[in-house]
């Protein structure tokens, strides 16, 4: 049994390219941060994990790295409990502790799968689908990151999208390149009527294809109700229009379409009040903070019990995360909507060896190799780590970056 003990957790912060995507906090910076985990067992087996970056998350992963040494990789409940206990004195939020325990659970499952020669989806009870559907994640965006402090402008091959025509063009490109069959627009950027017009333009350009809009709480309850009325019959769901369980519950009373969230129900203790108040009808799960892949499957069962539909949230991410999202998405019977993914925006810099994960026909086929089924590209990991070190960037700051170009910009939630 000793060969299944954890010898070491290698924690590597990285930075990779990100286009100038707009949201209700500002604009994405040229680099996004993630942390790559290599969980090394006594027998040399390595399990991979991927977590969002930033100094706080990095420090917590270092605490976790000290905690897990000597533990059995199959003992994931005890591993999570030990990390949780180690973080508790300094990290009061269970949601925040969840980011750390989740990343390590995925690395444990990857290692377990490699030891057993079975894909992670088998460890989750087997697949109910061979491929997991994803939605095109549309963003208002600038044509380029403008030149700044001697750095030249950074362009990309997506172009600008600042009005309904630009959004439809971006959706066409997404469909052409990846075959997506449903679309999500990140809103909260322009006045609501402009975003309503963009959704209507998408509905006209892609008749019958599911659409959703997510302003990340940029609207008041009244504005949210107005948008919901205007888009009656057009949206499959409206995501996080207003802030908090109470705000969402107010909107839900009059909303003709289901409301979804990845903002007001982000920890287990939020489920009871949200269900009691009928604040949401769709939960966007995310294995990166709900406790990992097994807990995500349990969450799906809770949603089923309370009649909540299930979808999946995403942040800027790379292939280890996509593989994990795909395995769990394939193992959940009640995945009711296509999952979100930022992958098309970031995949050019991926840290995994190409060939296994492919977004085609709007789906990703479940990897069949042992564990997550993906392999780390060590040279690329070194490059991205150097980029992290040299960039000096240690956290995400969409608002601060926006102010470099629009000094009067204010983060206002709600804004309208």
Catalytic (active-site) positions: 186, 313
Stretch that binds Mg ion, among 115-123, 164-172, 194-202, 213-221 (CB under 5 A): 213-221
CB contact set of 7 (below 8 Å; sequence gap of 6+): 40, 41, 42, 69
Site stretch for ligand GKR (CB under 6 A), options 89-97, 205-213, 248-256, 314-322: 314-322
d(CA 141, CA 307): 36
User: Least distance to ligand GKR from the beta carbon of 313, Å?
Assistant: 5
Rank residues 225 and 313 by Cβ distance to ligand GKR and give the closer one.
Answer: 313
Residues 6+ apart with CB under 8 A from 92: none
Q: Strand ranges (DSSP E) for 143-286?
A: 144-145, 154-155, 183-186, 211-214, 237-239, 259-261, 282-285
Describe the strand order of the beta sheet including 31-41 as a list of residue ranges: 6-17, 31-41, 46-52
Nearer to ligand GKR, 60 or 313 (CB): 313
User: At its nearest, how many Å lie between ligand GKR and the CB of residue 240?
Assistant: 6
Angle at the Cα of 283 from the Cα atoms of 281 and 284, rounded to 5 degrees: 145
Minimum CB separation of residue 216 from Mg ion in Å reads 6
Which residue, 84 or 239, is less far from ligand GKR as judged by CB?
239
CB of 239 to Mg ion, least distance (A): 5
214 touching Mg ion, by CB under 5 A: yes
For ligand GKR, which residue has the nearest CB? 23
Give the CA count within 13 Å in the CB-facing half-sphere of 27. Answer: 21
Which residues from 259-288 bind ligand GKR, rule CB under 6 A? 262
Q: Which of 212, 243, 313, 337 binds ligand GKR (CB under 6 A)?
A: 313
- Residues 13-72 close enough to bind ligand GKR by CB under 6 A: 21, 23
Looking at 217, 262, 311, 347, which residue binds Mg ion (CB under 5 A)? 262
Instruction: Return d(Cα 66, Cα 104) in angstroms, integer.
Output: 12
- What are the C-alpha distances in Å from 246 to residues 96, 253, 265? 22, 11, 11
Partner whose binding site includes residue 311, from ligand GKR, Mg ion, none (CB under 5 to 8 Å by kind): none
Please give the residue ranges that form the binding site for Mg ion (CB under 5 A).
214, 239, 262
């Amino acid at each position: 049994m000793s060969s299944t003990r954890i010898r070491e957790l290698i924690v590597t912060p990285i930075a990779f390219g990100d286009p100038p995507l707009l949201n209700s906090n500002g604009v994405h910076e040229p680099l996004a941060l993630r942390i790559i985990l290599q969980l090394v067992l006594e027998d040399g087996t390595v399990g991979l994990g991927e977590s969002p970056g930033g100094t706080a998350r990095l420090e917590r992963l270092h605490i976790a790295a000290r905690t897990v040494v000597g533990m059995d990789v199959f003992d994931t409940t005890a591993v999570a409990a030990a990390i949780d206990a180690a973080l508790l004195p300094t990290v009061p939020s269970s949601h925040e502790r969840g980011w750390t325990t989740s990343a390590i659970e995925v690395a444990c499952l990857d290692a377990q799968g490699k030891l057993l020669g079975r894909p992670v989806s088998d460890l989750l009870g087997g697949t109910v689908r061979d491929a997991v559907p994803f939605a095109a994640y549309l963003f208002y965006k600038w044509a380029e990151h403008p030149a700044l402090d001697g750095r030249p402008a950074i362009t990309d091959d997506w172009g600008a999208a600042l009005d309904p025509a630009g959004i439809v063009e971006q959706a066409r490109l997404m469909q052409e390149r990846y075959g997506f069959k449903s679309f999500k627009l990140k809103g909260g950027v322009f006045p609501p009527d402009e975003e309503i017009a963009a959704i209507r333009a998408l509905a006209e350009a892609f008749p019958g294809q599911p659409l959703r809009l997510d302003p990340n709480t940029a609207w008041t309850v009244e504005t949210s109700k107005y948008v919901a009325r205007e888009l009656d019959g057009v949206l499959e769901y409206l995501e996080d229009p207003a802030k908090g369980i109470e705000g969402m519950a107010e909107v839900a009373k009059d909303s003709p379409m289901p409301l979804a969230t990845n903002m007001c129900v982000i920890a287990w203790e939020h489920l009871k009040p949200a269900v009691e108040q009928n604040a949401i009808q769709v939960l966007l799960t995310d294995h990166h903070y709900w406790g990992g892949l097994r807990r995500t499957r349990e969450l799906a069962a809770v949603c089923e019990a309370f009649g909540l539909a299930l979808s999946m949230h995403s942040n800027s991410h790379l292939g280890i995360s996509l593989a994990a999202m795909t395995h769990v998405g394939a193992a959940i019977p009640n995945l009711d909507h296509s999952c979100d993914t930022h992958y098309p925006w970031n995949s050019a810099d991926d840290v995994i060896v190409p060939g296994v994960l492919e977004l085609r026909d709007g789906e990703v086929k479940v990897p069949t190799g042992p564990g997550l089924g993906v392999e780390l590209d060590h040279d690329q990991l070194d490059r991205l780590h150097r980029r992290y070190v040299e960039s000096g960037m240690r956290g995400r700051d969409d608002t601060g970056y926006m102010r470099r170009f629009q000094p009067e910009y204010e983060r206002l939630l709600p804004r309208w």
